[in-house]
Amino acid sequence: MADKRFFANSGPCTLGDIAVRIGATLAPGVDGARKLLSVASLEVAGSDDLSFLDNPKYVSQFETTEAGACIVHPRFADRAPARIALLLSEQPYRAYALAAQMFYPDATKGTDTFGEAARIDPRAAVHPTAKLGAGVTVEPGVSIGAHAEIGDRTIIGANASIGKACTIGKDCSIGSNVTISHAHIGDRVMLHPGVGIGQDGFGFAMGLPRHEKVPQLGRVIIQDDVEIGANSTVDRGAGPDTVIGEGTKIDNLVQIGHNVEIGRHCIIVAQTGIAGSAKLGDFVVLAAQVGVAGHLTINSGAQVAARGGVVHDVPAGQQYGGAPARPISEWRREIVELRKLGRRPKPSGDGAT
């Protein structure tokens, strides 16, 4: 259940309004005027809550839930308790996400984590040449450098640092202790606490008598609707820019090296590392702890399984796994054969006692 001390509830919402918003169909006999107060998981939902069933693993919880209403695929409708109101959807999880946004809109923007809105705290240091749009919030300890520009309604969390000449668009959420330098950021971008944007790329001319630092002269360009998780880092380019495409979602503890180009609507999961000058197409998925070598291309629609080590280009739309990463069917066959090999009986001895 959502704790009211942290999350502002915009309910109640009627079943009819919810159905329209999420593109679901009310089951026969369901009263569209009935109001619900919140959303909750199957096991804790009460009679005024909306829940959902997406994974068949939780059908038993669905059969005993106390929820007042539930979003469910039509194939599971006959497993519902008799008293529950059903909203039928081919994509229950996506539908639930849209419904939850109705009740808790701030939770999708990051604004629910901040304090008072639309004020510049006197304990912040804002350079006189910086430009702040209408309705900007700047929390205590923030530093905003010369000629920086912050768009309307953006929120800058406590102790964040915005470097000189950086630009941040409208309706962004910049978490506490975020550092931004050498970067231009679009609209509706969410950076969670501790994110580092625009620091030096890891560039050195190695050799004797010492490793010489290569000046990193590029920028970071983050397009609209990107979200970057806590303590992730995005290095600025060495000459070309580091670019993160529109709608891409990056989990916590991800490292993105200099000159990397990430396409639109990619998903990059926790502890993944992408080395310099690698390129990702659109809608690429990298699962947890994937490592991507530098100067290669993962083409649009490709997916790499957790802990994969990508050392060659990945064709568009293909699924890869393993280290080194190869087509996932090949990787799975190898795992099966290795398991069989490990289960073989040990060879008998030579008969000596």
Catalytic-residue membership of 295: no
Contact 252, 230 (CB under 8 A): yes
Contact 174, 159 (CB under 8 A): no
3-state secondary structure of 281: coil
Catalytic residue chosen out of the listed positions 147, 258, 265, 295: 258
Question: What gap in Å lies between CA 104 and CA 98, rounded to an integer?
Answer: 10
Helix axes 15-22, 92-103, angle to 10 degrees: 120
Q: Are strands 204-205 and 212-213 parallel, antiparallel or unpaired?
A: antiparallel
Looking at residue 36, the DSSP 8-state letter turns out to be E
- Long-range CB contact pairs, 154-161, < 8 A, 24+: 155/110, 155/111, 155/114, 155/117, 156/124, 157/113, 157/114, 157/193
Token pair for 72:
């469910």
User: Smallest Cα–Cα separation from 124: which of 145, 104, 101, 153?
Assistant: 145
Which residues are known catalytic residues? 258
